[in-house]
Amino acid sequence: MRNGDVRLLIRGALEMGVRRILHLLAVTFAIACLLGTTGMAQQAKGKSHTLEGKVEGIQTDRLTVNHGKVEGYMDAMTMPYKVDKPDILKTVKVGDRISATVYDGDYTLYDVHVVPPQPKSKQK
Ligand SMILES: [Cu+2]
């Protein structure tokens, strides 16, 4: 009888220990997972799209663009956008048509360039 009690006690203690370790591992893994995904979200850019529109305003650090619908990114609207290279703000003029690359969840225009006006003969 006594022997059995001791065995049960030891087995109980062992199981408790194993459960604790497993729990700790699970918690550690969950935290690592969370940190991992957050890090990746910050690092990787979303899907890219091409945004085309007309410049309606130039601010110190952004461009107000009247743009058409960008499928999967944004409806047609006029709104200010940050730019990746502020140098473009010195060369672009109100009324210019621009083309830029945008990424999901990021309201910054990348690689902005002015689209030359269509020659008269090609206009409808
Ligand atoms: Cu917009």
Summarised one tens digit per residue, pLDDT across range 55-89 is: 999 999 999 999 999 999 999 999 999 999 999 99
**3-class secondary structure, 25:** helix
68 CA to centre of ligand 1 in angstroms: 9
Q: Of 43, 95, 45, 51, whose CA–CA distance to 71 is shortest?
A: 51
pLDDT for 94 beyond 70: yes
pTM of the full predicted structure? 0.61
Query: Higher model confidence: residue 17 or residue 90?
Result: 90
The CATH superfamily assigned to 48-117 is Copper binding periplasmic protein CusF (2.40.50.320)
pLDDT for 28 beyond 70: no
pLDDT for 46 beyond 50: yes
67 CA to centre of ligand 1 in angstroms: 7
Helix, strand, coil percent content, the chain, rounded in steps of 5: 40, 35, 25
C-alpha–C-alpha distance, residues 16 and 19, integer Å: 5
52 CA to centre of ligand 1 in angstroms: 11
Q: Provide the residues around ligand 1 (an ion) whose CB is within 5 A.
A: 74, 77, 79
Question: At 39, is the pLDDT very low, low, confident or very high (cuts 50, 70, 90)?
Answer: very low
Q: Where are the domains of the chain?
A: 1-44, 48-117
Burial (0-12, 13-18, 19+ Cβ within 10 Å), 43: exposed
88 CA to centre of ligand 1 in angstroms: 19
